[in-house]
């Protein structure tokens, strides 16, 4: 991916870049090893986020001082897991919760489709457990179960012999996705019945993709040999219902027409239509022992998201030694063509008087995330003399086309980069580089972006909704002064967003001491899974 670097980009360079360059001339006088850095360029053959990184030796013993009495055996059944099969926040939540419960003394497994796109080098001790058959559409499909360890967590991978889960990406293969997850849901239960010698206490399912598992459990497998488990469903995103026909559900071995009632799985939005449709998410809600949506605020995995040890950062930093953050910012600016390479040449350091805050927005490009506000922010941040980087993909062709047009318009300029892709490596670097993280969601049950941004010293600018309102408190709200840690707006209009950005830019430029105080404060916030995991454990015990 190549970008043109304009001479005008000097007007968008942050003044702290001068410090970077001066430190570079002096060598490693800052103690962060800047003299050893090789600054990237947009003309490099390999983008800076695709270079080889050291492997991460992640230990699950994050909260080893917290041990629960009466530990449980928990199996998560999920479509995503960070970092090997991550598309959105679902993958982060599953990994973070699993690791936290492991550290509290519980036995935890994750069951995941063995997507063809998974990079096997990230799996430790990958071995075949067994080969077995699982039902789908009148046939028993030969299936292989593997066991491995990812980020210190035991994972069971389910691989059918048909075309399910084949393709370059987690989602969007040439197979029928809904039927693939119906198969996966049953295959996990079939494996538990055929292979496991000990039944789990809890089967924790996530999102619509595994919404059929509670139906299959209670109406088939509980009548066979699986008697012990209880089911928890976590809903991360109400945008997708898992809309399903009766005929499709019947392919799992259930009689689809039995579930076409209001008290079971009929999609209420289709009542009176011809034909009426089913919702796997609704079926999961009805058939689960407990459902979590607004009730428990998620945390972030502070082992995976740690600027002091992050393998993807060119320079590490923490709340006590935050100096490395400005080097991460300049590294990203250089790599994306947001800083003129000429500024490093010879003895000339440009007289930079314009401070340019870097605003980062890392998101799925879907209506929930406030698409009209994201596209407006591009214009307003440029008008304010700031820089913005958007990292994300759209599943809707029209949205993708709109943002491709914005990228074509802005990506050759000095201030805006729109990167329509997903990259876990680049997301780590962008959080570390960001002065601000923008989360203008229309609704957000929890939200991880603002928590991760704070962990990396990026001040959140968010819309007041759901979990964003629970974790970010406005700097100018005198009634909440002790909690103040960001900039909040309430409306869904462009003017409300403008006001929040204007105030954030004013603090950045005119109140540097207060701004540095905010950075230190947000980095010290405990958004770990420790407390959250405890609430999930209480829920597990209650059912």
pLDDT value for 342: 54
CA distance 89 to 448: 7
The residue behind tokens 């058959």 is 133
CA distance 349 to 24: 12
**211: helix, coil or strand?**
coil
Contact 118, 79 (CB under 8 A): no
* 204-251: pLDDT as tens digits: 999 999 999 999 999 999 999 999 999 999 998 877 899 999 999 999
* 347-358: pLDDT as tens digits: 332 333 347 999
In the chain, count H helices and then E strands: 15, 16
pLDDT value for 123: 96
Q: Give the containing element (helix H, strand E) for 17.
A: helix 16-26
Q: Mean pLDDT in runs of 10 for the chain (543 residues)?
A: 45 39 36 64 93 67 69 97 90 93 96 96 95 97 97 97 95 93 98 86 98 98 95 89 96 97 92 88 97 79 92 94 91 89 41 68 94 97 96 94 97 95 94 97 89 97 94 92 94 97 96 94 90 90 95
Q: Give the containing element (helix H, strand E) for 197.
A: none
pLDDT value for 34: 52
Give the closest residue to 158 by CA, choosing from 192, 184, 122, 189.
184
**379: helix, coil or strand?**
helix
What is the DSSP code string of 38-97?
----TTSSS-GGGS--PPP---STTSTT---SS--EEEEE-S-BTTTB-SSHHHHHHHHH
pLDDT value for 65: 65
pLDDT value for 105: 95
């Amino acid at each position: 991916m190549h970008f043109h670097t304009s001479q005008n980009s000097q007007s968008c360079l942050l003044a702290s870049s001068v410090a970077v360059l001066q430190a570079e001339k002096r060598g490693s006088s800052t103690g962060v090893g800047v003299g050893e850095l090789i600054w990237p360029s947009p003309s490099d053959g390999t983008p800076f986020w695709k270079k080889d990184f050291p492997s991460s030796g992640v230990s699950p013993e994050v909260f080893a001082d917290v041990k629960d009495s009466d530990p449980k055996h928990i199996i998560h059944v999920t479509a995503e897991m960070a970092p090997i099969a991550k598309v959105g926040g679902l993958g982060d939540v599953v990994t973070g919760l699993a690791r936290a419960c492991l550290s509290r003394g519980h036995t935890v497994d994750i069951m995941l489709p063995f997507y063809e796109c998974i990079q096997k080098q990230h799996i430790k001790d990958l071995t075949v457990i067994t080969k077995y058959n699982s039902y789908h559409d009148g046939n028993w499909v030969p299936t292989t179960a593997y066991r491995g360890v990812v980020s210190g967590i035991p994972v069971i991978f389910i691989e059918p012999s048909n075309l399910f889960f084949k393709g370059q990406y987690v989602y969007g293969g040439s197979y029928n996705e809904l039927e693939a997850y119906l198969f996966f849901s049953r295959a996990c239960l079939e494996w538990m019945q055929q292979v496991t010698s000990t039944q789990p206490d809890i089967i924790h399912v996530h999102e619509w993709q595994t919404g059929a598992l509670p139906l299959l459990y209670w109406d088939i497998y509980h009548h066979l040999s699986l008697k012990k488990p209880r089911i928890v469903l976590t809903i991360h995103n109400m945008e997708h219902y898992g809309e399903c026909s009766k005929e499709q559900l019947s392919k799992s071995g259930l009689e689809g027409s039995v579930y076409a009632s209001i008290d079971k799985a009929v999609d209420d939005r289709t009542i009176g239509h011809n034909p009426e449709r089913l919702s796997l998410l609704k079926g999961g809600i009805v058939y689960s022992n407990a459902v979590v949506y607004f009730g428990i605020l998620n945390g972030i995995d502070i082992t995976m998201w740690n600027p002091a040890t992050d393998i993807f950062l060119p320079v590490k930093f923490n709340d006590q030694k935050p100096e490395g953050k400005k080097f991460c910012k300049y590294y990203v600016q250089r790599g994306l063509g947001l800083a003129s390479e000429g500024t490093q040449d010879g003895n000339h350091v440009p007289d930079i008087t314009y401070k340019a805050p870097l605003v980062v927005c890392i998101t799925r490009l879907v209506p929930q995330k406030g698409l009209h506000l994201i596209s407006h922010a591009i214009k307003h941040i440029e008008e304010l003399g700031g820089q913005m980087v958007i990292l994300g993909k759209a599943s809707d062709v029209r949205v993708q086309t709109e943002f491709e047009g914005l990228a074509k318009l802005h990506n050759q300029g000095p201030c805006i980069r729109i990167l329509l892709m997903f990259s876990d490596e680049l997301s780590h670097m962008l959080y570390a580089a960001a002065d601000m993280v923008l989360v203008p969601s229309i609704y957000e049950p929890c939200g991880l972006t603002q928590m991760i941004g704070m962990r990396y010293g990026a001040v959140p600018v968010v819309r007041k909704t759901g979990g964003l309102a629970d974790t970010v408190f406005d700097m100018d709200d005198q009634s909440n002064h002790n909690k103040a840690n960001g900039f909040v707006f309430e409306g869904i209009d462009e003017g409300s967003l403008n006001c929040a950005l204007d105030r954030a830019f004013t603090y950045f430029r005119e109140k540097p001491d207060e701004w540095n105080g905010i950075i230190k404060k947000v980095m010290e916030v405990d958004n770990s899974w420790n407390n959250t995991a405890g609430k999930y454990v209480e829920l597990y015990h209650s059912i």
